[in-house]
Structure 1
Amino acid sequence: MTRSRMKKYFGSTLLISVIIYAAVTIFLYYAKNTTVQKNSNSGSQCNFSRYCPAILNGEEEAYQLGDNCQKQWKPETFHIQEPVNCFQIKREHHFITGVLSQEEASYPLAYIITIHKELEMFVKLLRAIYNPQNVYCIHIDQKSPEDYKRKVKSLTDCFDNIFIASKLERVIYAGFSRLQADINCMKDLVSSRVKWKHVINLCGQDFPIKTNQEIIWHIKSKWEGKNITPGTRQPPNMKYRTQYSYKEEINNGNAYIYQLNQKKTKPPLELTIYFGTAYYALTRKFVQFVLEDAYAKALLEWSQDTYSPDEHYWVTLNRLKDAPGTTPNVSWEGNIRAVKWAPIAGPSLDECYGHYVHDICVYGLRDLKWIIAQPDMFANKFEMSTSPLTVKCMEHWYRNRVLDQTSATIQPHWFLED
């Protein structure tokens, strides 16, 4: 080999060696940093499998460890890459993609979920209650950022049985728009190819306590063919909601409802107004009644300028003797929601270990033991931004219950990561 060829050969070899060394160095650097980033929430001190069961058991040492972990825990973020890979989304976010039992396959449910914030909380709720035989209508507050709406649509488009409501409302807390959002979803659901038995409404800060199978058992035990709308006759301290007219307004980005100096007319058709929860489990026939019956339409029209009409509309219609699936003689039965009310707002005597929003407890870690002991189908409220470990612990407990109950072959991606 000539000197010039040797020089060229060794020069090329050296260049290749430098390139390989640089590539390996870069790879190891990013691999190391990626691993640190991925595991930064799950170091030995904050190992999820160690402290979550202890928290659920109410062990004080576990609470203290959980509180310390909460301070350093980075809330999960949900990313959607373009173009959307639906196969990857279902697996990476641990959606259960198979029917878990024959009983569940023969008793499909419908869900209405109204959301406006915290995409990650919505994803966790959706994957918890998702079953391929059910159907889900998602109502996104029209005021939500466009990027939020786009991400939700990208997710829901990956599923044949999840869709966004065909008409969206600018929802205002305690306003008629909140009731109208449910009505919009109901109009879509009655034309669904899924022959659902009951429809259940949720908000983005709910989370299930009962599994899908247990919800079906709960309905069949007492409420098959019946509607669940807990409530009672409107008490005197709630009459202000329907005695005066109210108006919704959005001003400089602030949405609110206020009372007008104008008394309302009496309820239409001599209806007796009831007061109850805004959340329900309704039969398909009752939903059709709500959309078509003259009494239902008259009450809906009259309710447009009332305060929090969703807390009197469903429960009032379900007390009519001729309504399908009516339950005129029940009161607060039904076990729809586990809620810790502020002392000034409700009957709950249980202490809130998180914080209150609209007089409802946003749960903390120390509330979990109480939550899982409740007989209700769902609990409210959870918040990723203030207590992400409360949500994470709850969803691990719940997913383990779901998988323990199934007779189906469990797929590896159905298990949640620590």
Structure 2
Amino acid sequence: MCQLEGTKCSFLLCLGMSIIACSFIYLKTKTPTEQKYPQLKSCRPFSSECKPFLPEMEKGVEQYQRDCQVGNFILNSSLHCSSLIDDLHFITRPLSRKEEEYPLAFIVTIHKELELFVRMLRAIYMPQNIYCIHVDAKAPMEYKMAVQRLVGCFKNMFLSTRSEKVTYAGFSRLQADLNCMKDLIKFKQSWRKVVNLCGQDFPVKSNLELVQYMQSKQWRDRNMTPGVKQPVSMRHRTQLQHQEITGSHVAPKRPRVRKSPPPHNLQIYFGTAYYVLTRDFVDFVLKSRIAHDLLEWSKDTFSPDEHYFVTLNHIKEAPGSHIDGGWEGEIRAIKWRDQEGMTHNGCKGNYVRDICVYGIEDLPWIINKNSMFANKFDSNTFPEALDCLEQWHRNKVLNQATVPIEPSWLLATQSNSRSNSYFNRRAKV
């Protein structure tokens, strides 16, 4: 009996000690530990080649991005919008009265690279502006849901009510912009001019500089659609009927069929797919018989987004038209392969479809050119270029602000951050 009691006591003692040990291990593994940003392996320091553009980089002090994988924030469906907006460093107040009184609208067409989209979006985001996001109907469902989750956190941002399966150089690309224009015209919040962007763009000018540029004497009441009368080398695009292979490519119809002349005896122009348009001009595009007929005629042309708006902007009936306009308007900094040695010193990254995907050594050219935006970037191929330009741009934006800077608006921290560091000084302004 005594032996049985002793065995029982030993068992209970061992059981108790096991429970205590397991509880200790459980609590230790479940208790979160504070982790500094520089300790995260995925947070890389800025390249030393950024120093000419980031003068606040002190000698021997490394700077790190505060968020290392922005896509993960959005994919984490448990995050509340307030946390997501803070953690992704979106600016939450107008930074000047001038910007607040001149709201802009943005059309952003995307289909891939979630991280690049988010970083571009927070760079152009201001609470007084309006943003229409067109997600390609071909995009993966997880991508669409992530974008929808982010967009749903902002009252001045929405997804296009109609989504296209966009084909490179196809009519669907033009239709995507028009879908957003219809939504923007109906949106309750007012805006002055609209700018279109794609997922591989990134701003060079700050929002304040965009407003100042659009309000300048040259552009105050005008649309910006760089382009010229269609060169002979480009006439095949609109003289022959083309067929869009949905989601794949555009090719001339076989056998080849010539198109009828443009409606209303319009002179066809050739330009870029990028523009800055007044609200009245957008209203004209959506309601005018001339615009409607040109749109119908353009459905079987090659890359109609490169002739549609620039052609309409050269007729007297169009509000804000620029009849004598040419290539004026610094909308995009682009390095085309065939312009190497003439307008630029070569691509320091690599060419894709004859357009430079920028490397970090391209930044001096981009910054000196001081266009509104630059194209193209790839956060996977040349991440250092985007890191550096993004930090340079945010520093400029905050330096121009006339309101106190919120700590969450800062994009970077230092490995030995102290109260007298550049970042903390800016947050106390």
SS at match of 2:347: coil
Quick check: which one's helix share is greater? 1
Deviation digits for residues 202-238 of structure 1 (CA, Å, limit 9, x no counterpart) = 0000000000000000111121111000111111111
Q: 1-side partners of 2:7 and 2:363: how far apart?
A: 76
Q: 2-side partners of 1:36 and 1:113: how far apart?
A: 30
Alignment partner, residue 48 of structure 2:
51
The answer as to whether partners of 1:75 and 1:384 remain within 8 angstroms in 2 is no
Gaps of 5+ in 1: none
The answer as to whether partners of 2:340 and 2:346 remain within 8 angstroms in 1 is no
2:222 to 212, 216, 226: 226
Q: 1-side partners of 2:285 and 2:340: how far apart?
A: 30
Q: 1-side partners of 2:16 and 2:79: how far apart?
A: 42
Query: 2:80 matched to 1:85?
Result: yes
The answer as to whether partners of 2:132 and 2:160 remain within 8 angstroms in 1 is yes
Number of corresponding residues: 397
Deviation digits for residues 302-341 of structure 1 (CA, Å, limit 9, x no counterpart) = 0000001111111100010121001111211110000000
Query: 2:240 matched to 1:240?
Result: no
1:298 to 271, 293, 304: 293
SS at match of 2:337: coil
Q: 2-side partners of 1:303 and 1:345: how far apart?
A: 31
Query: 2:45 matched to 1:22?
Result: no
Post-superposition offset of 1:39:
2.2
Counterpart residue identity of residue 53, structure 1: C
Post-superposition offset of 1:347:
5.7
Alignment partner, residue 178 of structure 1:
173
Post-superposition offset of 1:364:
0.7
Q: 2-side partners of 1:315 and 1:54: how far apart?
A: 40
Counterpart residue identity of residue 17, structure 2: L
- Identify if the C-alpha distance between structure 1 residues 193 and 246 changes in structure 2 by more than 3 Å, giving closer, same or farther: same
Identity percentage over the alignment?
A: 45
Query: 2:317 matched to 1:289?
Result: no
The answer as to whether partners of 2:54 and 2:392 remain within 8 angstroms in 1 is no
Q: 1-side partners of 2:38 and 2:143: how far apart?
A: 24
The answer as to whether partners of 1:341 and 1:347 remain within 8 angstroms in 2 is no
- Identify if the C-alpha distance between structure 1 residues 347 and 182 changes in structure 2 by more than 3 Å, giving closer, same or farther: farther
SS at match of 1:226: coil
Q: 1-side partners of 2:82 and 2:7: how far apart?
A: 55
Alignment partner, residue 41 of structure 2:
40
Q: 1-side partners of 2:295 and 2:261: how far apart?
A: 14
SS at match of 2:241: strand
The answer as to whether partners of 1:364 and 1:387 remain within 8 angstroms in 2 is yes
Question: Which aligned pairs between 1:120-269 and structure 2 lie closer than 5 A?
Answer: 120-221=115-216, 222-250=218-246, 255-260=248-253, 261-269=256-264
Q: 2-side partners of 1:356 and 1:185: how far apart?
A: 30
Deviation digits for residues 339-382 of structure 1 (CA, Å, limit 9, x no counterpart) = 00012799633210111112110101111111111121000001
Q: 2-side partners of 1:189 and 1:52: how far apart?
A: 41
Q: 2-side partners of 1:193 and 1:132: how far apart?
A: 14
Deviation digits for residues 140-197 of structure 1 (CA, Å, limit 9, x no counterpart) = 1111111111110011011001100001111000011000100000000001112100
SS at match of 2:369: coil
Q: 2-side partners of 1:169 and 1:38: how far apart?
A: 42
Alignment partner, residue 376 of structure 1:
371
The answer as to whether partners of 2:70 and 2:88 remain within 8 angstroms in 1 is no
Q: 2-side partners of 1:246 and 1:318: how far apart?
A: 24
SS at match of 1:263: coil
Cα RMSD (Å) of the superposition?
2.9
Gaps of 5+ in 2: 414-429
Q: 2-side partners of 1:232 and 1:351: how far apart?
A: 25
Query: 2:411 matched to 1:416?
Result: yes
Question: Which aligned pairs between 1:350-365 and structure 2 lie closer than 5 A?
Answer: 350-365=345-360
The answer as to whether partners of 1:230 and 1:315 remain within 8 angstroms in 2 is yes
Q: Which moved more, 1:80-89 or 1:274-283?
A: 80-89
Query: 2:113 matched to 1:118?
Result: yes
